[in-house]
Amino acid sequence: MNKESLVEKAYQIAIERYAAVGVDVEKALQALQKISLSLHCWQTDDVTGFEDPNAQLSGGIQTTGNYPGKARNIDEVRADLIEAASFIPGNHRINLHASYGDFGNKKVDRNEVEPAHFESWMQWAAENGFKLDFNSTSFSHPKSGSLTLANPDKDIRGFWIEHTIRCRAIAEEMGKRQGSPCIMNLWVHDGSKDITVNRLYYRQLLKESLDTIFATEYKNMKDCIEAKLFGIGAESYTVGSYDFYLGYGAKNNKIVTLDTGHFHLTESIADKISAVLLFTPEIMLHVSRPIRWDSDHVTIMNDDTLDLAKEIIRCDALDRVNIGLDYFDASINRIGAYVIGSRATQKCFLQALLEPLSALREYEKNGQFFERLALLEESKGLPWNAVWDYFCLKNNVPVGEEFITEIQKYEKEVTSKR
């Protein structure tokens, strides 16, 4: 029996096994097929971008490792994205930073970016079946310093306000062109390395900047605001804290971005889903794997990611949660990093979709807590992996570990020659 037949046979057995606990496997697969991950372009080139290939990362951004073959230009970034997507089942999006514009080897400062600089990206995305998401870029710039939108210097603050206003206009054009709202994320690294006595002042400035930036209403883009616990060089104080952005998002009907690496390691990001959804229209996720802190390791199928996926499904919130990846590991094959992290995230959502939720809720409703815990434990051993293999087969992507040799081939023929 060939591998395809084995996968299909195992899938049929899995259907029967899940049916015994009241789970419709085909319905779960239909839901998984609709989940689009937003693949972050910066994994291809270690967050370098196209403004200056010799520029050094700054503003709270750091990547570690020097694995050979990183993308050096826009064509190589796009080629690597297409290669990575070929191993990830489903239809997905591409998440761009403003520093990845098609600048044609010309100097374009951040306060000069416009839709024309992303025209080729929009064409490329349409030709290759992708939708685009977007991010303003406040780091790695001579005017970044430790403060951007919260900078007391009116000229510097105005520079970054103009940049972000232009980024929203770019996102609007992307959304209009692709017939799907472009999710635009706003994160700034503003903070202080040591003690500050002006916490309120900087937050007042950030609030005023955001009010100016969001003054224009758009129909084809959605605004997200992303907090951080602390940053490299801003260990003592972060202006855009979680409390700040949660308050701003709830008051102004903005999407709050939850980056799984931006909180204390003992916090449960899963627990935030039901709380935040009560007060904001949607949630944006940046899924990564923190080691000690925001180290942006490649996402794997661990308890944190699995709990996050399960909570989203338990809240019936797939239509209100946008799922993006945000890690940049330069210590391993970068294409492989994409594929491992993306497939791990999908596996977690599949397991969440296959949870016998109706039976579990019935037990809970009746106060049958032994039965609830028992079924939660037993469901961990149900054959979700057979369903995953079938999902890959159905989407014409490698089943199991088959993608490893394909990525090795790409490295040998393409990235190793860079």
Which parts of 301-368 fold into alpha helices (H)?
A: 303-314, 334-353, 357-365
| Pick from 247, 248, 197, 254: nearest CA to 221 | 254
CA distance 211 to 161: 10
Residue 57 near residue 403, CB atoms below 8 Å: no
How many residues can be counted in the chain? 418
Record the tokens describing residue 63, joined without a space: 């990547």
- Cα R_g (the chain), whole angstroms: 22
CA distance 248 to 137: 20
Task: Give the residue numbers marked as catalytic.
Answer: 187, 226, 228, 259, 262, 286, 294, 296, 326
DSSP category for residue 234: B
CA distance 29 to 350: 8
Question: Cβ-count burial of 195 within 10 angstroms (0-12 exposed, 13-18 middle, 19+ buried)?
Answer: exposed
Record the tokens describing residue 199, joined without a space: 């916490």
> 176 CB contacts (<8 Å, ≥6 apart)?
220
| Pick from 94, 84, 92, 114: nearest CA to 102 | 114
CA distance 165 to 216: 9
CA distance 122 to 132: 8
